[in-house]
């Protein structure tokens, strides 16, 4: 997987926008204005993904490539290093999980708006 493939995967999801709110190299993907993934576009060595707190701990125990979220709330975010033993499909699944988790937490009116897109 490379940054272009990952970007294309993320932006095809309903309601997703991309921006650089922190600096010129940290690409952030948002659904309805809420972050669900971010990565360094130059290095593309890891991806920060939102995660259920209980699942986040389990993933960290099972995969050496999964660490507490770098510069993020360690309870709700994982940093996934993509150059390890993980398959692309696993990273995409965790990206889907992150997106879904954020959508579930959106206000009902925003969820309805998202369904219309």
Q: How many CA atoms lie within 13 A of 88 on its CB side?
A: 6
Q: Which domains are present in the chain?
A: 3-107 (3.90.1150.30)
- The stretches of the chain forming alpha helices (DSSP H) are 3-11, 53-62, 88-105, 108-116
Nearest-angstrom CA–CA distance, 1 and 81: 12
Q: How far apart are CA 39 and CA 25, in angstroms?
A: 8
pLDDT digits (tens, 9 = 90+) for 43-89: 999 999 999 999 999 999 999 999 999 889 999 999 999 987 899 99
pLDDT (tens digit per residue) in 62-74: 999 999 998 899 9
Structure tokens at 51: 């995660």
Whole-prediction pTM: 0.95
Q: What are phi and psi of 77, to 5 degrees?
A: -130, 140
């Amino acid at each position: 997987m490379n940054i272009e493939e990952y970007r294309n995967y993320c932006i095809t999801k309903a309601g997703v926008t991309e921006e650089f709110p922190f600096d010129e190299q940290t690409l952030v993907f948002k659904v309805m204005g809420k972050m669900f993934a971010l990565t360094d576009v130059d290095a593309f060595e890891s991806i920060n993904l939102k995660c259920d707190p209980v699942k986040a701990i389990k993933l960290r125990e099972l995969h050496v490539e999964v660490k507490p979220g770098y510069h993020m709330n360690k309870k709700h975010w994982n940093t996934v290093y993509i150059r390890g033993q993980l398959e692309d499909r696993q990273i995409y699944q965790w990206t889907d999980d992150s997106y879904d988790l954020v959508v579930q937490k959106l206000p009902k009116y925003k969820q309805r708006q998202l369904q219309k897109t």
